[in-house]
Amino acid sequence: MQSLGFAFALIPVLRRLYPDRAEFASRLGSYMEYFNTQPYLASFVLGAVARREEDRATGRNIAEDPSVIKKTLMAPLGALGDSFFWGGLKPLAAAVSVAALLAGAWWAPLLFLALYNVVHVGLRAGLVFTGYSTGGDVAALLSRYNLTRMARLFKVLSLSVIGCIAGTVAFWEPPFRPALPIAGPAVPAVAIGVVLGMTALLRIGGTPLKLMLGLAVLCLALVLGGFWAP
């Protein structure tokens, strides 16, 4: 899926290294094979391939096909990147921003973009150079950027902020502040109960779509049944 984008990104490098048209086309063709990894960590692969193509073109290493590293790296980097960016950084930035928004901060979207992109853009740019300087050495990547440990920390922090969201429910700003017939510490207790109850439903096969629709039906039933009247 990402092979075309990868080949497109390599065109300037290949054009410079292979002035001969046939060789250029042949090298470009070798990057059209299946490639699928975490898109940001593709920068590392790109740097590594550029280095190996350079070694090949200058005769430093003609035995090895530079495109092989692409296949070797895509699966481990996919797992590493998915865990760090999609499973760690993104939910943390989202949780912090939503917590700020619920507290009435209109600038929460800007906070989200700042939290996410300070890490993302810095890593994405740096990884091209790391890939180039190490020639695709994953051990060097892991020692320079401890992504696994950071992913774990980000997950924990996002869970704590999610807990904070439930704990501050009585102080949410409209339109999210529910008009409840209870007050004081009972409000966060009910909120965490709702969160844990919905999590239990998700564990027995609920999906976001089903739960949202079920929630709408429940709200309608509560209002029509006279159990909730703001």
What is the footprint of other proteins within residues 168-197 (CB under 8 A)?
168-172, 174-179, 184-185, 188, 191-192, 194-197
Asked if 19 touches other proteins (CB under 8 A), the answer is no
The Cα–Cα gap between 72 and 66 comes to 11
Asked if 150 touches other proteins (CB under 8 A), the answer is no
Among 62, 68, 75, 223, binds other proteins (CB under 8 A): 223
CA angle (86 as vertex; 215, 48 as ends), nearest 5: 165
Minimum CB separation of residue 195 from other proteins in Å reads 5
Footprint of other proteins on 43-72 (CB under 8 A): none
**Cα atoms in the Cβ-side hemisphere of radius 13 Å centred on 109:** 1
Other beta carbons within 10 angstroms of residue 81's beta carbon come to: 23
Asked if 126 touches other proteins (CB under 8 A), the answer is no
Chain CA centroid to CA 217, Å:
32
Among 1, 41, 58, 66, binds other proteins (CB under 8 A): 1
Asked whether the beta carbons of 92 and 154 are under 8 A apart, the reply is yes
Asked if 148 touches other proteins (CB under 8 A), the answer is no
Binding-site size for other proteins (CB under 8 A) equals 101
Asked if 101 touches other proteins (CB under 8 A), the answer is yes
Residue type, 45: V
